[in-house]
Chain A
Amino acid sequence: MKLTEKDVRYVANLANLSLTEDEVGHMVHDLGGILELMDQLAGIDTEDLSPMAQVLYATGETATLRPDVERAPIGNDLAVANAPVSGAGYYKVPRVIER
Chain B
Amino acid sequence: MNVANLTIDSLQDGLKRKDFSAVELTRSVLEFAERENPKTNAYVLLCPERALRAAEKIDERLAAGHDIGLLGGVPIGVKDVILTSGVRTTCSSKILANYVPPYDATAVERIEAAGGIIIGKTNCDEFAMGSSNENSAFGPVRNPVDLDRVPGGSSGGSAAVVAQGTAVVSLGSDTGGSVRQPASFCGIVGVTPTYGRVSRYGLVAYASSLDHVAPFARNVRDSATVLEVMAGRDPLDSTCADAPVPRYAAHLTRDVRGMKLGLPVEYMKHATGETATLITKAIKDLEALGCHVEEVSLPSTDYAIACYYIISCAEASSNLARFDGVRYTTRSAKSENLSAMYQNTRGEGFGAEVKRRIMLGTYVLSHGYYDAYYVKAQKVRAMIARDFTRAFEKVDALVAPVSPFPAFKLGEKLSDPLEMYLSDIYTITGSLAGIPCMSVPCGNTADGLPVGLQILCNHFDEPNMFRLADAFESR
Q: A and B, one complex?
A: yes
Interface of A toward B, CB cutoff 8 Å: 7-8, 11-12, 14-20, 23, 26-27, 30-31, 33-35, 37-42, 44, 46, 49-57, 59-60, 62-67, 74, 78-85, 91, 93-96
Q: Which 9 A-B pairs have the closest CB atoms?
A: A55-B434, A18-B347, A51-B378, A66-B235, A46-B379, A84-B331, A63-B242, A52-B382, A55-B195
B330 close to chain A: CB less than 8 A: yes
Contact across chains for B194 and A51 when beta carbons are under 8 A apart: no
Known contacts A12-B359, A31-B360, A82-B329; decide if A52 and B378 are in contact (CB<8 Å): yes
**Size of interface on B: residues with Cβ below 8 Å to A:** 77
Q: Which residue of B lies closest to A10 (CB)?
A: B366
Q: Is the interface of B mostly helix, strand, loop or mixed?
A: helix
Q: Which residue of B lies closest to A12 (CB)?
A: B359
Q: Is the interface of A mostly helix, strand, loop or mixed?
A: loop
Partner of A34, one of B243, B336, B341, B417: B417
Q: What sequence of 0s and 1s flags, for each residue 249-280 of chain B, a beta carbon within 8 Å of any chain A beta carbon?
A: 00000000000000000000000000000000
Contact across chains for B379 and A79 when beta carbons are under 8 A apart: no
| A72 to B: closest C-beta gap in Å | 12
Contact across chains for B239 and A15 when beta carbons are under 8 A apart: no
Contact across chains for B338 and A55 when beta carbons are under 8 A apart: no
Contact across chains for A17 and B343 when beta carbons are under 8 A apart: yes
Cα-based distance from A56 to B209 in the complex (angstroms)? 11
B325 close to chain A: CB less than 8 A: yes
Residues of A within 8 A of B337 (CB): 94-95
Interface of B toward A, CB cutoff 8 Å: 98-100, 102-103, 194-196, 209, 233, 235-236, 238-239, 241-243, 303, 305-307, 309-310, 317, 321, 324-331, 335-344, 346-348, 350, 352, 355-356, 358-360, 362-364, 366, 372-373, 375-383, 385-386, 417-418, 421, 433-434, 459-460
Contact across chains for B380 and A46 when beta carbons are under 8 A apart: yes
Known contacts A38-B373, A83-B327; decide if A14 and B380 are in contact (CB<8 Å): no
Residues of B within 8 A of A27 (CB): 355-356, 359
> Can you pick out 27 interface pairs between chain A and chain B where the beta carbons lie within 8 Å of each other?
A15-B317, A16-B324, A17-B346, A17-B355, A18-B348, A31-B356, A31-B360, A37-B305, A37-B421, A38-B377, A39-B306, A41-B306, A44-B303, A46-B376, A46-B379, A49-B382, A51-B375, A54-B239, A55-B209, A59-B241, A59-B242, A66-B236, A82-B100, A82-B102, A93-B338, A94-B337, A94-B341
Contact across chains for B362 and A14 when beta carbons are under 8 A apart: yes
Contact across chains for B329 and A79 when beta carbons are under 8 A apart: no
| B98 to A: closest C-beta gap in Å | 8
